[in-house]
Structures are given as structure tokens and as C-alpha cells.
Amino acid sequence: MIIKPKIRGFICVTAHPEGCAAHVQEWINHVKAKGPIANGPKRVLVVGSSMGYGLASRITAAFGSGAATMGVFFERPSEEGRPATPGWYNSIAFTQAARKAGLYARNFMGDAFSVDIKRQVVEAIKADLGQIDLVVYSLASPRRTHPVTGAVHKSVLKPIGAPYTNKTVDTDRGVVSEVTIEPASEAEIADTVTVMGGQDWELWMQALGEAKLLAPGAQSVAYSYIGPEVTWDIYKNGTIGMAKNDLERAAKAINAQLKANGNGRAFISVNKALVTQSSSAIPVVPLYIAILYKLMKARGTHEGCIEQMQRLFAQQIYGPKAATFDDGGRVRVDDLEMIPEIQNAVRQIWPTVTTENLEAVTDIAGYRTEFLKLFGFGLAGVNYDAETEPHVPMN
């Protein structure tokens, strides 16, 4: 079939297999061009490995330090005549490239929150890898079925305490408008913490620890975001921010566990705001990203997921110098986003943005290009007018 983008709100309901493969290859090429990461990890588990920061982490581990990788993800498989979600194609493309390069790669498609997937991964590590050097926890999910109670918790992106009104953009239609989001209830806050907080990360580390699958000195990292004040009501001080506080709590608990295991460590890396499937669902944030991209590209400091993760691995986790932590014990690869020159410029542009000047004062065009790339569209060398087979089996 001929596969074209079909955008519905902040999601594209189609994905292009060859385009996704070309996107994965671009990321692999970046990591290879940066050269080997000396002392990098050799056996890596990535939870949330098919898209965004998790996929970039897996590619960096494999092609930067020759790691054997296991990836856990939740995607809709392809069917006859119906494309999969893009992470399905990304994972196939990654696995093919890794195996071609002589690297072990194994995939677990299912619910990372479940006891069953954890058990499958534990058994596979025992059988294939023995132990793990690095666990990357990069889930972004709208819901979690609790493994003990069976209750389904849904995360929400809402402010806390009072309604929040700010500018937002419909990235597809290019319309800037004002949005008011009502505050979350106590139950919604608790549910968001249950889904996006640190409990599941702890359960993963507990399962691996109990089975003695963490190599001495093993490390673990999970990802967070802080961002500028203009987004704080909806992000840092909102429901998702409460979940991220819980992730930080979990980081400290896991750090103690890993420290006792041959002086390993666990920490949070605060990453840059980027176009991903998850960030595009947050009100207000896409407008901020469109302004940020314009400013960082002009300054020559713009990075995508792969540049961020390659830098995190090569300069922080496995860098030649000791990793640098902020006052809260977090690594900051959002450093270039947060410099005062950039943030002062965002503050100046923000009140001036309208539907009419959107193209001129923001990089909405770059936002759209990146958004389409997430689904495998707009990649060089791919013929989008040609027939392509959407049904691709997982390897």
C-alpha cells in the first residue's frame, strides 16, 4: 500500500516502515560518527526502547559501546494492510542493524508494568547475558494496570490547585489560542504518580536485584524534565511534575541498592524538551518547543534525542571525567536549553506569538518536520509514492 501521514490531533495514525528504518539509521550514523564510548556498558536493558529517549539510549549503547541490548516496549503490531505504530518498525530496524553489526539484540513486546514481562526479561537475562551493566528506564505511558491490585490508573496532564491559562498551538493547523486547563483532583494526582512515578522502576530493579542479575557496579538512569517557568504550572508543578518528584524519590532508593552492589549508582538525567509522541500531547509545551528550536538552531546548540543521549553516555555516565550532578543529584543534559540567553529570549518571544506570526517567530516548520519523522515521514531517500508492505514481522 502507499502510506501517507494521517494526522489526528497530536497523533499520526499511520507510520512508514522504510521511513522509520531510515530514521533509525540516521541515529545509528550519528552515534558511529561520534566514535566509540570508551568504558561504555556491555549489557544493557532499556525499558521503553522503541521511541524517543529510550530508543536513542539503546542505539547509543549498541553502536557507541558495542552493547548487547534488551528492549521492552508497547506498540501496535502491523497487520495485513494496516501499518504498525512507529516503535514497532523502529525496533525491527534497530534489531536488524544491531545483528548485522554482530551485536546481540532481543525484544520484549508487552506491558512493562506487568509481572509477566519482568519475569520474561529476568529469564532471558539469565539465559543469554548473565548480568546487566546498565538499566535505562524511559517509559512514557498514559496508563498503568497495577500489578498487584489490577486497577487501571490513568495519568493526566493538569495543573494543581488552580486553573491554568496560557497560550498553546495546534501544531497541525498552526493556530495559536489560549487554553484553560482545570486543576487535577487528588485522585488524578495520585493516579499520575502511580503511572509516571518511580514505583515501577523500583519493581524492575527489585526483580533484577533479587535474581542477582545486576553486575557489580551496575548503573541505572531514568529521565525527567524541568523546563522554564512558562511551563511550570502544567509541567514541573503539575501532575506530571509530582510523578517526576516520585521518580526522584525512587532514584535515591535505587541508588542505595546499587551502591551496595559494588558501588553502582542510580540517578535522574534531566533531558531537553523535544518533539516526541509523549511531549506532543502536553498542552502549551509544543509552542515552547517551537520557540526553543528556533533559538537553539540559530545559536548552533540544537540537539535531538540521539545527540542528547550520545552526550549523556559519552560525557556523563561513561565520560572520561566524573559525571556532574546538580544540587538535587541530577545530571543535566538540558543545560544548553536552560542557559539564560535562551530562556530570556523565550520570555521575550512568548507574549508576542500569534497565529499570524507563528511561522516567523517560531520554528513551527521544524516542529512539524520532526513530528512527521517520528512516524517515518520526510526521510531522505525514501520514496513515499511507492508501494510499501506495511506488515513487517518482529525479529
According to the binding rule CB under 6 A, does residue 268 interact with ligand NAD? Answer: no
According to the binding rule CB under 6 A, does residue 277 interact with ligand NAD? Answer: yes
According to the binding rule CB under 6 A, does residue 304 interact with ligand NAD? Answer: no
Calculate the alpha carbon distances from 311 to 35, 57, 213, 334, 335 in Å. Answer: 12, 10, 27, 11, 12
Tell me which amino acid residue 151 is.
A
Tell me the residue ranges of DSSP E strands in 171-224: 175-181, 214-224
Rounded distance, CA 308 to CA 334, Å? 8
Closest CB to ligand NAD among 78 and 215? 78
> Which sequence positions are flagged as catalytic?
235
Q: Whole-number minimum distance, CB 138 to ligand NAD, in Å?
A: 4
DSSP for 298-333, written as a single string: HHT----HHHHHHHIIIIIIT-SS-----TTS-EET
Q: Whole-number minimum distance, CB 264 to ligand NAD, in Å?
A: 21
Query: What DSSP designation does 79 have?
Result: B
According to the binding rule CB under 6 A, does residue 74 interact with ligand NAD? Answer: yes
According to the binding rule CB under 6 A, does residue 267 interact with ligand NAD? Answer: no
According to the binding rule CB under 6 A, does residue 376 interact with ligand NAD? Answer: no
According to the binding rule CB under 6 A, does residue 346 interact with ligand NAD? Answer: no
Calculate the alpha carbon distances from 373 to 17, 37, 142 in Å. Answer: 11, 27, 22
According to CB under 6 A, which one of 63, 113, 313, 318 is a site residue for ligand NAD? 113
According to CB under 6 A, which one of 14, 57, 78, 138 is a site residue for ligand NAD? 138
According to the binding rule CB under 6 A, does residue 231 interact with ligand NAD? Answer: no
Size of the site for ligand NAD (CB under 6 A): 29
Closest CB to ligand NAD among 155 and 388? 155
According to the binding rule CB under 6 A, does residue 225 interact with ligand NAD? Answer: yes
Instruction: Work out whether strand 68-73 and strand 43-47 pair parallel, antiparallel, or are unpaired.
Output: parallel
The candidate with the shortest Cα–Cα distance to 273, out of 287, 252, 253, is: 287
Q: Whole-number minimum distance, CB 271 to ligand NAD, in Å?
A: 4
According to CB under 6 A, which one of 84, 112, 181, 251 is a site residue for ligand NAD? 112
According to the binding rule CB under 6 A, does residue 54 interact with ligand NAD? Answer: yes
> Burial code of 124-152, b = ≥16 C-beta within 10 A, e = fewer?
ebeeebebbbbbbbbbbbeebeebeeeee
According to the binding rule CB under 6 A, does residue 111 interact with ligand NAD? Answer: yes
Rounded distance, CA 52 to CA 308, Å? 11
Closest CB to ligand NAD among 215 and 294? 294
Contacting positions for ligand NAD (CB under 6 A): 48-54, 72-75, 87, 111-113, 138-141, 223-225, 271, 273-274, 276-279
